[in-house]
Amino acid sequence: MKASPQRIEQHLASLIAVPSVTGDEYAAQDLVAAMLEEAGASVERLVVPLTEIETDPDFPGVEVPHTDLPIVAGRLRGLAPGPTRMVSGHVDVVPPGDPTSWTTPPFQPDVRDGAMYGRGACDMKGGLVAAIEALRLVAEAREFAGEIVVLAVPAEEDGGSGTFAAIKAGYSADACVIPEPTDLGLVVAHAGAITFTLDVPGRAAHASMRREGVSALDNLSYLVDALKADEAVRNASATTPEMVEIGLPYPTIIGQVEGGNWASTVMDRVVAHGRYGVTLEQDCDGAADDLRAAIERAAAEHEFLADNPVGVTVWGARFDSAALGGDHPLPASLEAAAARAGARVPARIGLPAGADMRLFINHADTPTVMYGPGDIRRAHSADEHVALADVVECAEVLAEWLVGSG
């Protein structure tokens, strides 16, 4: 089955041209629905109010205001009963940032040197277009048993509430592939992440009497060193080969720092926001326990912080980790599909980031892997792009997998 490079380029350009920053996905979902219908699918649409799922104990959280979650699915039924295979992708993108850092406007698709540029090209409208093209190729022949579903969800970037809502609405499958930007590698395990805030105390003093004060910024620096030591210990304990190969599968960072109210005053308070990895051996609650324990150990050995507690708050999106069992046939079936398509057989890899894969595995009893076009290093960046040839290759492999017997 051969995909159409021209159609893929046109569809991807059209989808990039519709901004779909998390929380504003309706227009993009309208376009996805039209593409699925034109490809031959029976289209299903639903809107899930956030209030219906946000009190669920497994709710993954949000970081962007939402009132409801628009979901689109395209379905094909085969010639005989059989398994349900799903390809799922998210339509939302992160904000483009400073537009002057882009060579061309972020929502003005542009093709240069065989790559499509624009916000979402890599993460993950390229993968979603590949899924739609794969469905079209299968629809033209209909020579398969069972059902095929292409699912398009909102709100992945801030936690995965779109996929969680789809699962609660009944979407599951015997196997699922998410075409996230894996550089056409086959992700069989991924880390998780939690967001945290440290409220770090100090003692104010005039700059000329600096030694009379205690800098909250210095205290934060001390805690960052402690978190680096904790990070080293946690990563040294990794045993899953695909995660070990990453080198740093469970990173910790401080991404935002706020503090100080006068240039010549010793800081008496610093607030820092960061990300803490969730290992394959734990859930988000376990990671939060590790984080608090690391801060408490460090504070207990600090002259000032031992008597002036550091506030630790875990908030926002909760990305659990997930892994597909090593003996599950799904990875081998995708590798076989790549061989049938004459494509590169993907290497099995791990991913040091959270993804919707964990929601299907942990909450929908749906074996899931990730395989898609694009380099994750290009995602969320200025001049984000994806090689169009990789989108074509992904579409052809997905089509072979959707109709395959493996």
One DSSP character per residue, 258-304 reads: EE-S-TTB--SEEEEEEEEEE-TT--HHHHHHHHHHHHHHHHHTSTT
**What average pLDDT does the segment 266-288 reach?**
98
pLDDT(405) > 90:
no
Is residue 99 a contact partner of residue 106, using CB atoms and an 8 Å limit? yes
Strand order in the sheet with 110-112: 110-112, 115-117, 385-387
Q: Which alpha helices (H) appear in 348-387, and where do they start and end?
A: 357-363
Q: How far apart are CA 294 and CA 314, in angstroms?
A: 14
Q: How far apart are CA 110 and CA 350, in angstroms?
A: 31
CA distances 259 to 262, 268, 274, 307, Å, are 10, 8, 15, 21
Q: What is the pLDDT of residue 254?
A: 98
pLDDT(142) > 80:
no
Q: What is the pLDDT of residue 406?
A: 45
DSSP state at residue 100: G
**What average pLDDT does the segment 281-299 reach?**
98
Q: How far apart are CA 16 and CA 189, in angstroms?
A: 29
Is the previous residue joined to 86 through a cis bond, with omega within 30 degrees of 0? Answer: no
With residue 178 as reference, give the H or E element that holds it. Answer: strand 175-178
Is residue 237 a contact partner of residue 191, using CB atoms and an 8 Å limit? no
Question: Which backbone phi and psi does 158 adopt, to 5 degrees?
Answer: -110, 25
pLDDT tens, residue by residue, 10-28: 999 999 999 999 999 999 9
Is residue 186 a contact partner of residue 371, using CB atoms and an 8 Å limit? yes
Is residue 145 a contact partner of residue 81, using CB atoms and an 8 Å limit? yes
Q: How far apart are CA 46 and CA 68, in angstroms?
A: 10
pLDDT tens, residue by residue, 143-181: 899 999 999 999 999 999 999 999 999 999 999 999 999
Is residue 36 a contact partner of residue 72, using CB atoms and an 8 Å limit? yes
**Predicted TM-score of the model (pTM):** 0.94
pLDDT tens, residue by residue, 86-138: 999 999 999 999 999 999 999 999 999 999 999 999 999 999 999 999 999 99
pLDDT(363) > 50:
yes
What does pLDDT average to over the chain? 97
Q: How far apart are CA 13 and CA 172, in angstroms?
A: 30
Count Cβ atoms within 10 A of the Cβ of residue 139 and give its class: 0-12 exposed, 13-18 middle, 19 or more buried. Answer: middle
Q: Which domains does the chain have, with CATH numbers?
A: 5-190+322-403 (3.40.630.10), 192-319 (3.30.70.360)
- Please choose, from the candidates 171, 132, 162, 127, the residue with its C-alpha nearest in 3D space to the C-alpha of residue 150: 132
Q: Which residues on adjacent β-strands are paired with residue 77?
A: 147
pLDDT tier at 303, thresholds 50, 70, 90 = very high
Proportion of the chain above pLDDT 70, given as a percent: 100
Buried b (16+ CB within 10 A) or exposed e, 203-228: bbbeeeeeeebbbbbbbbebbbebbe
**What average pLDDT does the segment 283-293 reach?**
98
Q: How far apart are CA 129 and CA 191, in angstroms?
A: 26
Q: How far apart are CA 158 and CA 317, in angstroms?
A: 6
Q: Which residues on adjacent β-strands are paired with residue 195?
A: 275, 315
Proportion of the chain above pLDDT 90, given as a percent: 96
Residue matched to tokens 């801030």: 158
Is residue 157 a contact partner of residue 95, using CB atoms and an 8 Å limit? no
Q: What is the pLDDT of residue 141?
A: 79
Q: Which residues on adjacent β-strands are paired with residue 189?
A: 323, 350
pLDDT tier at 404, thresholds 50, 70, 90 = confident
pLDDT(252) > 90:
yes
Tell me the catalytic residues.
92, 156
Q: What is the pLDDT of residue 106?
A: 98
